[in-house]
Structure 1
C-alpha cells in the first residue's frame, strides 16, 4: 500500500492521504473579498484528490496585505464571502479546507507580480508598512515602521480576530504564516531583526513576538479543529537563521499544541541565491525538524512533483506530508494521477469516474 495515499491524523482532523495543496496567492481579491476566480480555483482544488487544501495567505489587517489584491479576513464582508465558498464546496466535496493567516510586514504595499511586483506609489494607494526594524526589503521599497509595543498588541489581536472569523466561516484548519520573509520571519531572523529591546538580539528575544502570535492563535482557534504553522528553514544567506534555531522554533510550536509543522525557506533577503531548480531542495529542513521533534507531524514542500519521490519521502519518515503548489496549478488532478502511478485507486468524483484511466483502452499494457 502506498504510504503517500494512507490516512493520517492532524490533531483532531484525519486526512485521507498525505498530499496537501499549499497556499498560493492569487492576487485576485477586491478589498480583501474573494471573487469568482477564487470560487473556481478553490472548487477545482477541492476535487483534486488531495487530502487537504489550504487557501492563500490572507491578511489579518489591511496593512498586512502583500498587495491591494490579497484576500483578507478582518471584516464581515470578507468572512461572509469565504463562508459562501465553503458552504458551496460542502455540497460536492468533503476535502478539508484550511486558510493561511498572514501579515506581510515590510513586504506589504506592493503590486501583484504581473503588475510589476514593486513598491506601490502614493498615487497607487500605498500604505504604511511595519516590521521588526526600520529597514526596507529592497532599496527602492518602502521603509517600514519599526513596531512599537502598541503595534505588536494590535497585530496579535488581529490574528486572534481573524482566527475567530475563520472558524465562523467554516474552515477546518488554520495555518499560521511565519515564512517567506513576511512579518513573523522578519522578527525571527537575525538578518531582518536588529532591535535592541526584548524583541531583538538573542534567538529567545527574536522568537518572542512570533511565539506570542502563535500562542494567541492557539488560544483563539478551537481545539476541535486543526492548527498548523509554516516557517522557514533557511534565509539562504550567511548570518541568517541557524538550523538549531529552526528546530527550537518547531519544538516550541509543537509543545504549544500545533498539529503540524510546514517547512519552507527563503523570501527574507532579496539577493539570496536559492537553489529552487532542484527537486526537494527544502527537504533537509523538514528532515531536521522531524529528527528534532519526532512526535510532530512535519510537512515538506519545494519542487516535489514526482509521485515516487513524494512516496519515498513519506515512506522513509523524512516527513509525514507532502505539500504541492506549482504542480497543482499545472495539473489540478495531480493527486489522482499520482495515486494511479503508485498503484492506488484514482479516487475520482463519481461525475468524472467514467473518464478514469482504468476505462482507457489499452491503459496499463506494455507499450
Structure 2
C-alpha cells in the first residue's frame, strides 16, 4: 500500500467562494451512506419496536440486519424489497443521482436477486436548488436504472430542508439462491469485491483536497453495479453475502458474525484500497461517521498491539457509499468467485480473511507488519 502524495493535480473541487454557485454538499450535514444512524444507536431503536405478526412467506425481515426484506411468492420466486436514500456525497447532480441509485440497487444484488423495478424517493429544497439541478439528479438515477435494465416506475417527492435522493428497489430471487448475512461457516474465506475509501474521498472533497483522478476513481467505484451478486447466488459454496455501506467494512462484517454466530479474522495488509486513500487519511480526511461507527462496534474488534493506530481504524470503519460485496464462501469455490468478479469488471476483488468458530467478533492482523 504505497503512500505517494497525490499532489500532481489541481483539486477536483476547490473551496467555495462568494463568486461560486452553491455546492450540493453544502446543503447537507452529511453525505452518502455516512448519513446513516450509527449501528449501535440503530440497534437500540429497533430493539424497542413492538413485535408484529410475521407470515411464513416472509423469508427475511429485520431479525439479522440483512440488506433487504424477502417475501416468497411461489416455489420459484421470492420478492426482494429494499429502500435506500441519502444526502449528496458529491456536488455534481448527475453523479449524485448515479451514486444514490447504484447504492439502492446494491441491496438487491447482495441478496442474490435481480432488480425488477424501482421507485424514486426525492426530497429537495426547491427554493434553493435550480430545477435543472434537481432534474439532473433524477437523470443520474434513471441512467443507472437503464444500465440495470429496469424502469423507475413511480416514486414520491417532497420539499425538504436538505437534498435527498434514492430508490425503493424491487427484485426477484429464486428461494434456493437467496443469500443472507447469517450463513457464514467456520473455515469460510472472506472476499471483498471493491476497494475501500469512498468515505475518505468524500471528506477530501469537502475540504477541497480531492484530485481530479481521485474523483474519477470515486465515481467509477461508487457507480459500479454489484451485478456479480446474481451469479454468486447460484454457487452453493457461497454461504453468506452482504454489501459494505455506511457501517464500514468492520461494521458489516460484525453483522455477519453476529447473525452467523461465528468469529472472523481479516488481514489489514490484504485489504483492497482505492488510489491515494491512505494519503488523504494521513492528511486528516476522515468522516465523523467513521468515529461513530467505531464507537458502536469497537468492543467487538480485536486489533494488533503494534502497527495499528487511528488511520488504520479510520479505514476499517470508513463508511462506504455504494461499496463492494462482502461474502463468506467455502475455500474450494474461491477461484470461481474471484473469476466471476473479474469477468464483470471488478479488479479489486480479493480474499481478505477467514471465518472461524467462536464468539461474534472480528480480529484484525497485519501480515506485513509482523
**TM over 0.5, yes or no?**
no
TM band (smaller chain):
under 0.3
Structure number with the higher strand fraction is 2
